[in-house]
């Protein structure tokens, strides 16, 4: 098994001020070589509107097929929380989260669904994936209904 150095798991860690400051960590995948899907769900993701400074809220669903590495979940929580005071549009936040996970964990495949609550009366849903899914990968529905007063 590959060695890894974790700086946050089991340690006192504060929420980074900005996503750029967040340390997203990975751990060796004990099931490397097995095709499977792992899912992170963040139903209380928060960022700021870059124009008004008002809070925006989303339900993120992150599906990935791990390769040699897994995303360490505490570091993911801190990374996602770092968006709380970050001003960016929905599309930018959603895609940035997906790309950062791909950069760190080097999964076989990743998709992210950003199901944003309405801003100005319009919900904005954002979807990104790293490429076509591997053949044979089970892709369950992300489970977030089209907007009808999400909750």
Catalytic residue (choose from 49, 68, 92, 125): 49
Q: Is 129 helix (H, G, I), strand (E, B) or coil?
A: strand
Query: Which residues on adjacent β-strands are paired with residue 151?
Result: none
Query: Which residues on adjacent β-strands are paired with residue 28?
Result: 69
Distance CA 63, CA 15 (A): 23
Catalytic residue (choose from 21, 56, 68, 125): 56
| DSSP assigned state of 83 | G
CB 35 within 8 A of CB 136: yes
Residue 92 annotated as catalytic: no
> What does the angle CA 29 – CA 32 – CA 34 come to, to the nearest 5 degrees?
130
Distance CA 76, CA 23 (A): 8
CB 110 within 8 A of CB 127: no
Residue 56 annotated as catalytic: yes
Known catalytic residues are: 49, 56
């Amino acid at each position: 098994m590959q060695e890894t150095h974790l700086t946050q798991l089991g340690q006192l860690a504060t929420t980074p001020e900005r996503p750029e400051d967040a340390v997203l960590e990975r751990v060796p995948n004990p099931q490397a070589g097995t095709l499977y899907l792992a899912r992170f769900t963040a139903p209380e993701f928060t960022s700021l509107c870059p124009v008004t400074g008002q809070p925006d809220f989303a339900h993120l669903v992150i599906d990935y097929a791990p390769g040699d590495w897994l995303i360490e979940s505490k570091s993911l929580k801190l990374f996602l929380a770092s968006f709380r005071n970050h001003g960016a549009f929905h599309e930018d936040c959603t895609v940035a989260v997906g790309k950062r996970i791909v950069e760190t964990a080097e999964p076989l495949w990743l998709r992210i669904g950003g199901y944003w609550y309405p801003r100005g009366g319009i919900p904005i849903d954002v979807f990104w994936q790293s490429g076509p899914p591997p053949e044979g990968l089970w892709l369950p529905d992300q489970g977030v209904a089209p907007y009808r007063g999400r909750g």
